[in-house]
Amino acid sequence: MSTLDDHSKEIPEDTAGGATAAQSPEEKIKKQDNGPGGPIILFFILGLFASLIVGWIIFPKLLYSQKKQPIDFNHAFHVAEVENGCESCHFFRKDGTFSGAPKLEQCIDCHEEIQGVDPDEIKFVEEYVSKGREVPWLIYSKQPDCVFFSHAAHIKGADMECVACHGHIGESESLKVYEENRITGYSRDIWGKSIGGFKKNTWDRMKMDDCADCHQKNYAIIEKTGVKTPTKRFVDHMIEVVSPGSSISGKGTSVQTERDACFVCHK
């Protein structure tokens, strides 16, 4: 702690320099201030760490409640078992709407009766299939009521993979814990795990800006050529860097924000 050393040197120098009577009370005050400087700084640093721990570790723990899915489900096993891959259970209807989480109808062919000894399967058949009750799955990616999302636009229109937004759920062997924000009631997958807002994978978060950023990068390119090539994306990016707002990708349909109009994703 160099500051303390500096001060301890300063004080004797001043007194040695023959301070006048008028200055000495000030010096006394200074001395009193300097005395507890070390503990104060230490207290500050400890306080900072304490707040960081509260803010980054304890608060998120308190903010999110953990819920288990009603029954566990093994994707890896089932995808190998069914004929049509993901589409056996997550399919598009003719009018373009997406079926989402499967209904009993997609399971009943194989699970009319208990086939094995797995406790999850037994629970599934006894509590849901035989009683004709749908499983109340918790949806990790559930967006707020006011959001309109279209799987058709992304899967059929833009040829995207499920992984891009959902991560590796489709290859997982069990369903992860569902975390619910106690204040908003939304799933944690919307805000993401990282409290600091860092994002490594495209699926880490699905907030409004995550949707909008991808749209902004993509649509000008799709519009002009029907494909997205890395070169085009790069050129577009460079134009945007050199003079922001002038590349076509900087201009959305919204008059207010020059991004996508609100009614693209809201309803």
Q: Which is nearer to ligand HEC, 146 or 242 (CB)?
A: 146
Q: Rule CB under 6 A: say whether 63 interacts with ligand HEC.
A: no
CB-based contacts of 169: which residues, under 8 Å, 6+ apart? Answer: 75, 140, 162, 175, 176
Binding to another protein (CB under 8 A): which residues in 144-183? 144-146, 148, 150, 152-153, 156-157
What gap in Å lies between CA 48 and CA 39, rounded to an integer? Answer: 14
Contact, 179 vs 193, CB < 8 A? no
Considering only 86, 177, 235, 238, the residue that binds ligand HEC (CB under 6 A) is 86
x/- track of binding to another protein for residues 201-230 (CB under 8 A): --------------x---xx-xx-------
Quick one: which of 69, 63, 67, 64 has its CA closest to 172? 69
Which one of 7-15, 58-66, 96-104, 234-242 is the stretch in contact with ligand HEC (CB under 6 A)? 96-104
Tokens of 266: 């809201």
Token pair 């693209």 is at which residue? 264
Binding to another protein (CB under 8 A): which residues in 77-96? 92, 94-96
Shortest gap between Cβ of 61 and another protein (angstroms)?
A: 27
Q: Rule CB under 6 A: say whether 110 interacts with ligand HEC.
A: yes
Q: Which is nearer to another protein, 114 or 160 (CB)?
A: 160
Q: Rule CB under 8 A: say whether 49 interacts with another protein.
A: no
Q: Rule CB under 6 A: say whether 85 interacts with ligand HEC.
A: yes
Q: Rule CB under 6 A: say whether 100 interacts with ligand HEC.
A: yes
What gap in Å lies between CA 102 and CA 91, rounded to an integer? Answer: 9
What gap in Å lies between CA 15 and CA 30, rounded to an integer? Answer: 13
x/- track of binding to ligand HEC for residues 135-174 (CB under 6 A): --x-xxxxxx-xxxxxx-xxx-xx-x-x-xxx--xx----
The crossing angle, in degrees rounded to 10, of helices 2-16 and 24-34 is 160
What gap in Å lies between CA 132 and CA 130, rounded to an integer? Answer: 5
What gap in Å lies between CA 259 and CA 267, rounded to an integer? Answer: 17
Considering only 7, 30, 111, 251, the residue that binds ligand HEC (CB under 6 A) is 111
Contact, 172 vs 118, CB < 8 A? no
**With 0-12 CB in 10 A as exposed, 13-18 as middle and 19+ as buried, what is 100?**
middle
Q: Rule CB under 6 A: say whether 70 interacts with ligand HEC.
A: no
Q: Rule CB under 8 A: say whether 136 interacts with another protein.
A: no
Q: Which residues make up the interface to another protein (CB under 8 A)? A: 92, 94-97, 144-146, 148, 150, 152-153, 156-157, 215, 219-220, 222-223, 251-257, 260-264, 266-267
